[in-house]
Amino acid sequence: MNSLVKRLLTSLTCTFLFIILLSCKEKDQEPDVDVVKSEVPKADSVVTHGGNGRMVLTWLLPRDHSIDRYKVAWYSSSGTGSVTNKMPASNEDNLVRVVLEDLDEGNYLLNVYQYDENGTESPKSSTSGVVYGAAYEATLEGRTFEQSKMLDHGVQLIWESPRNDLFGTEIKYEGADGRSVVHFVPADKELDTLVGTGDSQFFEYRSLYLPESTAIDTFYTAYRTAQVGPGYSYKRKYDKASNTFYYLTHINHKDTAGNLIKLHHGFAGDPVGETGSEFAARMNCLLVFNGSTAHSTESPSGEVIQRRPTGIQIIDGEIVQELPRSYYTLGIKADNQLVSYPPGTTAAEMLADGANDVLSGFIPLIEDHSPVPDFVKSVYAGGSDKHPRQVIAQYDNLDILFLSCGGRGIDGEGMTADEVINILKEEGVKFAFMVDGGGSVTVVVEGERITKKIDYGGTTERPRPNFLYVQGHSNDQTR
């Protein structure tokens, strides 16, 4: 019985093993039918390029593919969004380029998906990017030049160090032959020359910015104006802290022949005063700036019959006027060195100190490269208010700089004394002094008033009793 069972079990086992072996052999003879699901490849090497209210995405496609469409989904502080489109034609490098328009400014997180004709979705490819707009544009400032020099064949400019995102500066001017010239200064160029200009050159310039090296849009600053002449230059700038436009007029200490470019002090030719434009025309001035504050005498009908400067007035070594004054006084020595005198200093003491030209003003702002102490500022209570300002300053090399700003809604809000100090500290001046401001602020360059009128809503040029000026040039020499 046991023997019979053993034989039966052995037979069944052999049969079972044979069936298994036969089955394996048949499978080996059959083709491989194991189906692997086809996966749509994900977008490869996704790169973003920021722009003005838009963005461009690029990525690579495989050489042989069945990708039919794509989807880009984005997330930012302003919300979410997505776009799905047919796959655009790629170039010979199989590079896809997709433009996303009408985006809010800010940082973005983006996911890219690809689909075949059956709608099979690829794994996502994630990246980030930035969209630029008004907020970025508000940070831009036009690049300005630090120094200028008239050459026989043009104007040489030394530009200030640029921001990292500056692409370059565009200059427009008229050449000596009358043709219009558009000149480009690359961001990495600091010494540059405008070729073929006349003896005195007016020009406009603006700066171009790329927020990132691969940005698709260029941002432009507003055009600024400047003029370079024999021994001087000016430029118009904007101060964000005070929300005010201002001019910086730079007067070299000496001309190219080594002669002193003398800063003069003169009175108006009429008892009621003259405008800066009238004074410039009468005196053949290259440059004119308003001077002292004034007292007006009126007729019974209210008509001004005399404008008289306040305080001490000295012209070419002659004491013209000596009245008490609670503010400081500005002195100009023979070599153009500027000094200030506190209240109570007599005209004779000023002359003895070498100040051949003296006029009343408000207060010094900077002395020996440092802002004046608070007790000096307190002498003039109006310094904490925002007004148009006229400030004369000086460098170590005795070059003179005038800061002339707008205010009262004309070219901005105006500046406080401290806001003026902050700007002039950046300019590196050794000395600065505040003369008359408000509607009196006047700068005339070669007969043209460059500062805006302030009085009566910007319609009237205020007459003044005295001026600081540079005489007009003759025979290419500045006197």
> Residue 469's CB: how many other CB atoms inside 10 A?
23
On the question of pLDDT at 33 being above 50, the answer is no
Average pLDDT, the chain: 89
Distance of alpha carbon 297 from alpha carbon 272, whole angstroms: 9
- Asked whether residue 141 carries a pLDDT value surpassing 70, the answer given is yes
- The sign of the torsion formed by the CA atoms of 259, 265, 268, 271 equals negative
pLDDT at 479 over 60: no
pLDDT for res 10: 52
**Angle ∠(312,315,320) on CA atoms, nearest 5:** 50
Q: Which two tokens stand for residue 437?
A: 């401001």
The H-assigned helical ranges of 117-255 are 134-137
Q: How many residues does the chain have?
A: 479
Chain position carrying tokens 């963005």: 55
Please state, in angstroms and rounded to a whole number, the distance separating the CA atoms of residues 451 and 441. Answer: 7
Dihedrals φ, ψ of 350, to 5°? -65, -45
Same-fold call for 44-133 versus 139-228: yes
Domain ranges of the chain: 44-133, 139-228, 233-471
**Res. 299 pLDDT band, cuts 50 70 90:** confident
Give the closest residue to 406 by CA, choosing from 377, 380, 386, 436. Answer: 386
Distance (Å, rounded) from C-alpha 362 to C-alpha 256?
34
Which residue type does 410 have? I
> Could you give the CA distance from residue 47 to residue 125 in angstroms, rounded to a whole number?
11
Q: Which fold has domain 139-228?
A: Immunoglobulin-like (2.60.40)
Percent of the chain whose predicted confidence (pLDDT) is above 70: 90
**How does pLDDT run across 34-68, given as a tens digit for each residue?**
444 458 899 999 999 999 999 999 999 887 778 89
User: Which residues make Cβ contacts (< 8 Å) with residue 172, sequence separation at least 6?
Assistant: 180, 181, 182, 183, 203, 204, 205, 223
Q: How confident is the model at residue 472 (pLDDT cuts 50, 70, 90)?
A: confident
Distance separating alpha carbons of residues 237 and 160, to the nearest angstrom: 13
State the CATH class of domain 44-133.
mainly beta
Q: Does residue 118 sit in helix, strand or coil?
A: coil
Rounded average pLDDT over 356-377: 97
Q: Which two tokens stand for residue 429?
A: 């001046």
